[in-house]
Structure 1
């Protein structure tokens, strides 16, 4: 993963929250929220909160008084999350690096993370930090995207951009969001960090959008793939090429395609 893969700035956070969240993240956020609610934590930490899709879902699922700290490495993403959530005395927002969490030992009943661990440069270190801030009987709950071939729109966009830039294809989606799906590696990383009770569940869903153009715009201009495209050629031309590829495969009206994730629960 390159440093550019972690840059969510400029117009990206707004596009991401407006279009990507309903397109691929909302259903999984609701799933995480249901699982967190079942744990009934009195103190919850979210890492890599992004624009707050999980934060909003958990806040709605847990109406009782509890302490919720939502963190992210990227301040622009966290600013969108805080603005979308509005005033909520239960939630505090904090910029934080998952590999060096600014919290005490055994401070939280649960830690959750939606589609964030793929961006961690040292996952074992980040997992060890998560274990450190968890209470001895605490739960770490997170999800990751499955391989890109199981996530059709992302795969369509990557293939289309590969045809447009054959000598140096943009590979952000395959490299990072869809680059950490091997269950044996995930389990081994967690065990190296000190987790022992680990379950991994495959969870398919559908991604929907009103037009192929919106899918293309979201993937090309609402993710760090935007920077990859801009260093290679014209952003709008690339977006149009991806839209045409999706239109050719899925039709010109409302479109839907499979997405798939892994949901992981780990305890010390």
Structure 2
């Protein structure tokens, strides 16, 4: 992972919320929340909250007595999330998952949707999640499966290779789809100190949009792929190439592609 892969600027945050959230993140919010919440949960921490799609789902699904703290490394993402708001108050806080600023055993559940792929050291980040969990608490996180099983991302990546053949942008394959190996995820959790085997559910959903233009803009403008493109050439040209490739594969009208992810649930039983 490049050091820049985890940087989401204000411009990216707006496109991320407008395009990426409904395209690929909303379908996985409810399943993550359902796995994290239990009748005895009183304190929930979300890490890598992004623009708050899971935060909003947590606020809707939980009792008002449940405390929700939502964090992200990038303040621009939290600013976007706070501007949208939630059904009831939550606490927004900028925080690095590698060094969580919370006391040991502070939470009954830790939730992270599609953030683990960005951690520079997953074992360290997982150990931080375990540290702030109370005994018996749940760590629930999701990661994308192989890029080949996520059709829009795969198509856009191939299109970028055609535009920049000598140095193709590989952000989507390298980082969002770079943490799909179940055996590696299981090993990292064990090394982080989780004493039980995780439950890993591979969940397939559909990504739908009114035209190929939407996923083209989503991936080229609403992720750090944008920075890779702009470092090489023209963003509009690359977006148009992505749109053309998506149209050729999925048609000129509404588009519908497969997305696939792993949802991991592990209980904090020490080794």
User: Would you call these one fold, judging by a TM-score over 0.5?
Assistant: yes
Q: Is the 8 A contact 1:196 1:266 kept in 2?
A: no
Summarize deviations over 1:153-208 as a string: whole Å, max 9, x none.
00000001111111100000000000000000000000000112211110000000
Per-residue deviation at 1:32? 1.1
Is residue 165 of structure 2 the alignment partner of residue 153 of structure 1?
no
Per-residue deviation at 1:210? 0.5
Q: Is the 8 A contact 1:36 1:58 kept in 2?
A: no
Is residue 179 of structure 2 the alignment partner of residue 194 of structure 1?
no
Per-residue deviation at 1:87? 7.5
What's 1:220 paired with?
220
Residue 232 of structure 2: SS of its match in structure 1? coil
* Whole-angstrom distance in 2 between the partners of 1:7 and 1:58: 25
What's 1:167 paired with?
166
Shifted more, 43-52 versus 56-65: the winner is 56-65
Residue 199 of structure 2: SS of its match in structure 1? strand
Per-residue deviation at 1:36? 2.3
What's 1:114 paired with?
113
* Whole-angstrom distance in 2 between the partners of 1:248 and 1:164: 16
Q: Is the 8 A contact 2:123 2:191 kept in 1?
A: yes
Q: In the superposition, relative to structure 1, how do residues 60 and 87 fare at CA in structure 2: closer, same or farther (>3 Å)?
A: closer
* Whole-angstrom distance in 2 between the partners of 1:260 and 1:182: 13
Q: Is the 8 A contact 1:13 1:222 kept in 2?
A: yes
What's 2:46 paired with?
46
Equivalent residue runs for 1:1-268 within 5 Å: 1-38=1-38, 40-86=40-86, 88-89=88-89, 91-197=90-196, 198-267=198-267, 268=269
Q: In the superposition, relative to structure 1, how do residues 41 and 124 fare at CA in structure 2: closer, same or farther (>3 Å)?
A: same
Structure 2 portions without partners, runs of 5+: none
Q: In the superposition, relative to structure 1, how do residues 39 and 97 fare at CA in structure 2: closer, same or farther (>3 Å)?
A: farther
Residue 261 of structure 2: SS of its match in structure 1? strand
Aligned residues: 267
Structure 1 portions without partners, runs of 5+: none
Summarize deviations over 1:95-140 as a string: whole Å, max 9, x none.
1011111111111001000000100001101111111110011110
Residue 110 of structure 1: SS of its match in structure 2? strand
* Whole-angstrom distance in 2 between the partners of 1:87 and 1:150: 34
Q: TM-score with structure 1 length normalisation?
A: 0.97
* Whole-angstrom distance in 1 between the partners of 2:35 and 2:83: 25
Q: Which runs of 4+ in 1 moved over 4 A?
A: none
Q: In the superposition, relative to structure 1, how do residues 39 and 160 fare at CA in structure 2: closer, same or farther (>3 Å)?
A: farther
Q: TM-score with structure 2 length normalisation?
A: 0.96
* Whole-angstrom distance in 1 between the partners of 2:188 and 2:14: 33
Q: CA RMSD in A?
A: 1.1
* Whole-angstrom distance in 1 between the partners of 2:19 and 2:254: 14
